[in-house]
Amino acid sequence: MKRDRPKYKQIVDAAVIVIAENGYHQAQVSKIAKEAGVADGTIYLYFKNKEDILISVFREKMAIFVNNVEVILEQDIDTSEKLFRMIDSHFRILHEDRHLAIVTQLELRQSNKELRLRINEVLKEYLMLLDAILKEGIVNGALDEGLDIRLARQMVFGTIDETITSWVMNDQKYDLMKLSPEVHRLIMNGMKG
């Protein structure tokens, strides 16, 4: 597959808009091409099919989340602040890109099992970074030493995810960013050492 980055990104960004506005199943490749300002055939120079577009959208956009958390992990701040910045960053990305919020919270979940498995593979890297924050917190005493990392990861990510899904389902009528301090406080209170 050809990968001219500007055009590839243009198609990925157009796919986010088209999938958010039409739903994954009604998001025809021709609509994505039109939104991207390219010929229908051009899409197939970059992607095998519509499923490949969806996976690529998720991979490209998840890289933003991953990069932000990698930066947070390198900062000389305590575990609680790292966790807050991760939550805040996750909320901010989706708050600032409402189409992406619809795609990640609603459309990705409606895909078939094989597609969901591929999506989960992309998500693993992000969850491993969350694990790193949790493990660091156990080591430095900020989090309970008996904390089950797997369960804590599910709790943290699940809370972030459900909070955003609820916001999307309520037509994004309230300020998601105002919730990040409270979500952080509740999560920390549940895991403190």
How remote is the C-alpha of 54 from its chain's centroid?
Answer: 13
Say which residue the tokens 């660091």 belong to. 136
pLDDT tens, position by position, 81-90: 999 999 999 9
Tokens representing 95 are: 């708050």
Residue 45's nearest CA partner among 7, 91, 97, 90 is 7
User: Ramachandran region of residue 14, left (φ > 0), alpha (ψ -120 to 50) or beta?
Assistant: alpha
- The residues pairing with 79 across neighbouring beta strands, listed in sequence order, are none
Residue 20's nearest CA partner among 63, 62, 57 is 57
Asked if the model's pLDDT at residue 193 lies above 90, the reply is no
Assess contact for 142 and 78: CB atoms under 8 A: yes
Q: How confident is the model at residue 145 (pLDDT cuts 50, 70, 90)?
A: very high
Tokens representing 47 are: 């992607």
Domains and CATH numbers, the chain: 54-191 (1.10.357.10)
Q: Which amino acid is at 46?
A: Y
pLDDT tens, position by position, 5-59: 889 999 999 999 999 999 999 999 999 999 999 999 999 999 999 999 999 999 9
Name 183's Cβ contacts closer than 8 Å, sequence gap at least 6.
Answer: 87, 91, 159, 160, 163
Cα separation values, 14 from 11, 18, 148, 154, 187, Å: 5, 6, 40, 31, 35
Assess contact for 57 and 99: CB atoms under 8 A: no
